[in-house]
Structure formats: structure tokens, C-alpha cells
Amino acid sequence: MRDAALKLFARDGYAAVSMRQIASEIGVQAGALYLYTADKQSLLFDLMNGHMEALLAAWADTVPPQGDAITRLEHFARFHIRFHAARADAVFIAYMELRNLSDENFAVIEDLRRRYEAELARILEQGQAEGCLTVPDIKLATMALIAMLTGVNTWFREGGRLSRDRVEDIYVDMVLKAAGAARAGTPTG
Amino acid sequence: MRDAALKLFARDGYAAVSMRQIASEIGVQAGALYLYTADKQSLLFDLMNGHMEALLAAWADTVPPQGDAITRLEHFARFHIRFHAARADAVFIAYMELRNLSDENFAVIEDLRRRYEAELARILEQGQAEGCLTVPDIKLATMALIAMLTGVNTWFREGGRLSRDRVEDIYVDMVLKAAGAARAGTPTG
DNA sequence: GGTTGAATTGAACGGTCGTTCAGTGACAAT
DNA sequence: ATTGTCACTGAACGACCGTTCAATTCAACC
């Protein structure tokens, strides 16, 4: 059910998808869905909450690389692009359907998002302190870099002009430069 | 009518707003709306089309500054942030409601968007040719910079910690750095 | 073979949806 | 005073919405 809802919500939007459509996608009657979800709102929340929890858990599972903040920023950028590229539908929903959450559900998701952003902010702070990164404002740089990285999802399609790895390299380069990394250089190839 | 629809679509989403709500917002019955729009879909398209046309027209109206591509890139970044900050609702709709457009309407909007992106791409190309900008890939840099700049709208609120001008300065700095501008430096203040 | 229990159906509930249209009423021109 | 114009109402249309629930199905156990 969650897979079907994810796919349909991502394609048509939460408000435009009916419980009957979700049911039909999995070959069942609408009433049967209510054995597995309290209502439509909970279904949306579960998808978004699951996505954000998975994001934070996956980040916590990565082994932070040895080295300076530049290395850790690169690590974050690569992690972000890879994780998001692998879950295009969930990412899309998580960014587009926030307004369809009830107030308390929204607060939960918003908190998870803030926690993720704080991870990047911490790296920038450390870089600033170490002197290897130069950002004019930690908070703005955090928002700007995440917007830039997440933007990959809006246009990237597997099998296009550039491979996933190449796109990753190019974005890492731009992220490092934007953060004023002391040893930033354009990737060749 | 367009103002009311803009406000409600931005707040609740196209699919979640009924013609009756729009009508009630302007103190009229739902049927009266059909004197001014063929249907709900046309109303959405008119809003998005008007926004994109205004964007391209406003850009065409700016006087491109004398100087190198770095100066022109800065000019573009400042224009983009200012134009979008002044029209938060329309920008939000233009990015969120694309999937609610019919196929032919979508193609029209998509073409306008491509034309706007081409303006930035041209500046990056010139900078690359002049040797004052260093971007690993013109197309990717275009998407990355626009995503970064448009991202301002997701969090910026007048009266917050930073003024509009200050935010503009900071983003310009990050854009120039990300584009490998030869003379990029962190703004002070 | 009979009984239980869970999974699922299919119809129904009260609403809301986008859209249409005959009718109303105000106002300008004759 | 009559006519014509135009904006608008208010009711109606058929369709679909999220959700509930008595009835049914069906496999597993005694």
C-alpha cells in the first residue's frame, strides 16, 4: 500500500489522489485500506516520516571520514545526492506535500528536517573554525547548499548526458567552491 | 479573481482549492467566475503563464551592466532574488503546480522556463570564454545556481534576522564562488 | 465437518467537486 | 416607459470524495 501511495502521490499530488485509486493500484477495494491506515492523512504522514527517519538513520550510519571539514563537506554532499537520487518519489513528496499535513504532523516533519540541516551546519561551522571553509553566514549557506543539492532531483534522469557519478563530482565541486573551500578545484574529465 | 486564486492556490494547492472558495474570497457566487475564465485549469495556466511572461519581460527590461561576465552574473543573481522575493506566491505556484497543467499548457510553461534558464547559461558561457568564470558544466551549473537562488523563497521572510539586501549580498557571494569567479571574496558586514 | 477469526467486499453515508444555465436585477440607451 | 445589455445568482447536474460497516469469503484449526 505504501508503495502504491508513494508512486501516486508523487505523480499526481496528495490532494488529487483518491483512496479508491490507491486501492485499485494494488488490486483491492477502498475499504480494505483502512485495515492498514487510520486515514488518508496518516498515510501521507507515514510516508514522509519514514523518509525523514530513513534519511537521518542513513546519515548516522555513514562513517565520517578522517580529515578536515572540507573532506566532511564533500562526504555530506555525496551522501545527500546519492540518498536523494535513490528515492526521487519520496523526496518529491517530502518537499511538496508539507502543506497537506495536519499541524502536529507538520511539526514532527519540520523537526526532522531541522535536525538534518543541523548536520550540514555543524560541518560548515567546523570548517569556519578550522579556517578551511569561508561562508558568509552559516544558516544561509546551509539552506543554499541543500537547495542546490536537492535541486539535482528536479532534472536528473538516469541514462542522460551525464552519469550519476559525474553529476555527483560536478556538484561536489560547486558545493566546495560555494563554501569557499581552500583547496577547491574544477574536476577534469 | 486572479489575486484571490493566486493567494489560495499558493496556500492550499491547486487541487485543494475549490471554485466556490475562490468565489467566496472575492464575495461572489461560483458561477460568476465562469464569466472570466473558461475553467479552473485555464485559471491556473493564466497565473503561471503571466508569471513567466512577466519574469522574462522584466529581465529583458533590465539594462545589462558594462563589464565582464562576473558583473553580469552578479546582475542576474540580484535580479533573480529581487524578482522572486517580490512574488512569493506566484513563484511557489509556478514550481509546485506544474503537474496540474494539461500537457499542452505544461509545454508552454516549460518552454518559458527554458528560455529563462538560457539567459543564465549564456552568461556562464561568456564567462567561461572570457576566462573569468570556471564552471565544470554549463548546464549543471545553470540548474544548480537557479535552484540555490530560488531556494531563498522557501525560508526568507521580511523582518527576520537578515535584511533583504544582506541576504542578496550573501547569495551573490556564494553564486560567484560556485561559478569559480576569479575575483570572488566574502562580503564583510 | 463444523467453528472460529481475520481479510476483504460492496454498498451506502453525507459531502463537496467543477460546471451549466434559466432567471433576476440594476443600469444605460432610446 | 420601454427596451436591451450585462453581471450575477442560486439551484441543479452527475460525478467523485473519505470513511464506515454489515455481510461475505476463505483458510486454519478442532
Query: Nucleotides on strand C with an atom closer than 7 A to protein CB?
Result: 7-12, 16-22
Give B127: exposed, middle or buried? Use CB within 10 Å, 0-12, 13-18, 19+. Answer: buried
Of B140, B155, B186, the CB nearest to A170: B140
pLDDT at A57 over 70: yes
**pLDDT tens-digit series, residues A146-181:** 999 999 999 999 999 999 999 999 999 999 999 999
CB contact under 8 A, A143 and B151: yes
- Determine whether the distance from the CB of B102 to the nearest atom of strand C is below 7 Å: no
**Measured from the CB, is B29 under 7 Å from any atom of strand D?**
yes
pLDDT at residue B186 above 90? no
Q: Which nucleotides of D are covered by protein (CB under 7 A)?
A: 7-12, 16-22
For residue B40, say whether its CB is under 7 Å from any atom of strand C. Answer: yes
Contact B45, B132 (CB under 8 A): no
List chain B residues with CB under 8 Å of A187. Answer: 136
Please give the average per-residue pLDDT across A111-123, as a whole number.
Answer: 98
Instruction: Give me the long-range contacts of A24-30 (CB less than 8 A, separation at least 24).
Output: A26/A1
Which of A144, A188, A162 lies closest to B145, judged by CA?
Answer: A144
Give the model's pLDDT for residue A187.
Answer: 65
> How many interface pairs between A and B have CB atoms less than 8 angstroms apart?
105
In this prediction, residue A185 carries a pLDDT of: 62
Residues of A with CB below 8 A from B13's CB? 13, 15, 99-100
Give which of B173, B183, B186, B188 to mutate to test A binding, by max A Cβ within 10 Å.
B173
Q: Does pLDDT of A184 surpass 80? A: no
d(CA A140, CA A120): 11
Q: Which domains does chain B have, with CATH numbers?
A: 1-37 (1.10.10.60), 40-178 (1.10.357.10)
Q: What is the mean pLDDT of residues B29-42?
A: 95
Sequential DSSP letters for A156-174:
--TTSSS-HHHHHHHHHHH
Candidates B11, B140, B179; nearest CB to A167: B140
User: What is the residue whose three cell numbers read 529581465?
Assistant: B59
Task: Compute the average pLDDT of residues A68-89.
Answer: 96
**Mean pLDDT across chain A:** 94
Please give, rounded to a whole number of angstroms, the shortest distance from the CA of A37 to a CA of chain B.
22
Q: Which of residues 46-65 of A touch strand C (CB under 7 A)?
A: none
Residues of B with CB below 8 A from A133's CB? none
User: For the segment A80-105, what is each residue's pLDDT rounded down to a tens digit?
Assistant: 999 999 999 999 999 999 999 999 99
Cell (9 digits) for A92: 518529491
| Straight-line distance from the first to the last Cα atom of chain A, in angstroms, rounded to the nearest whole number | 44
